[in-house]
Amino acid sequence: MRVGLKSWMQPHLDRVERALSAGIAAESPADLGQAMRYAVLDGGKRLRPLLVLATAEAVGDVANSPAALNAACAIELIHAYSLVHDDMPCMDNDVLRRGKPTVHVQFGEAQALLAGDALLTLAFEMLTPPDGSVPAAVQAACVALLARASGYQGMAGGQAIDLASVGQRLSEDQLRQMHRLKTGAVLLCSVQMGAACVPGVPAEAHAALTRFGQALGLAFQVVDDVLDVTADSVTLGKTAGKDQAADKPTYVALMGLDAAKAYADALAAQAMQALAETGLPEARLAALRGLTAMVVERDN
């Protein structure tokens, strides 16, 4: 990882971790908060929150913006809920996540179902703080973006396609559509919420950031498919080779390993180009460029 990115990331990761921890009370009815904390804290790359914060700082002078921090936490809660439900026996039936037993293994299926529901709901609590620190218009804009990105015409819809496509042969267009919804919509939403936290961003910058988020989201998924084949479970922190074993359609299955790697690089280049087209000062784009490189170069 680039040195500049690392020094930017650490304080931002610390803020997100503290805010997530503060946002989920350990004391809660029937220990539901414990299952939620287990699902969210001390794990994960926090790519989505970092994208929110890096975008907000790219479009405005908003270091330590409460709006951006709330949005960063909210998108990570959505990500965490989706993993908890995805891992359940009726879905992917997975037992390992971030190197730990999955939530339903640790707490039981019913508590995992409720913890996922509650994490999803908490995302919208996070976006609507009662303390007056975030303008109502920013709150409403972020809720609108997040709900649409994660709902049935976004992430949940993509998961439904994923379920329905096991053992099917998808065309590249169909595969791209599935991933655009399943992982791409929430990654794009991270960028869009970051921009929505700052009033007055020019339309040209918004459009270029949208292209950036789309290319990055697809690159992320292609790399995921590559890692499913090339990485081992310990490095990955989750079961490797799972998609292949389940005969799921992936970019590697569709185009082969080398072509998939080259495609990921091409998408990263597209994302970098879109950043140049935002018209924002290059100095402000360093964190977003660093995160883009991290997505393609990661080994888990």
Pairing of strands 96-97, 100-101: antiparallel
Q: Which is nearer to a second copy, 132 or 279 (CB)?
A: 132
Smaller CB distance to a second copy: residue 141 or 252? Answer: 141
Shortest CB 156 distance to a second copy, Å: 4
- Residue 120 CA to residue 124 CA, distance in Å, equals 7
Which residue, 54 or 67, has its beta carbon nearer to a second copy? Answer: 67
Q: Which is nearer to a second copy, 90 or 207 (CB)?
A: 90
Q: Residue 157 to residues 14, 150, 153, 180, 217: CA-CA distances in angstroms? A: 32, 8, 5, 10, 16
Cβ 108 to a second copy shortest distance, Å: 8
Least distance (Å) between residue 258 CB and a second copy: 30
CB of residue 182 vs a second copy: minimum separation in angstroms?
9
| Pick 32 or 229: Cβ nearer a second copy | 32
Contacts of 46 (CB under 8 A, 6+ apart): 13, 16, 17, 76
DSSP conformation letters of 40-64: HSS-S--HHHHHHHHHHHHHSS-TT
Q: How far is the CB of 224 from a second copy (least distance, A)?
A: 19
How many angstroms separate the CA atoms of 184 and 189, rounded? 8
CA distances from 246 to 157, 175, 240 (A): 20, 16, 11
In the complex, the residues that contact a second copy under the rule CB under 8 A are 24-25, 28-33, 36, 81, 85, 88, 90-91, 108-111, 113-114, 116-118, 120-122, 124-125, 127-128, 130, 135-137, 139-141, 143-144, 146-148, 150-153, 156-161, 163-165, 181
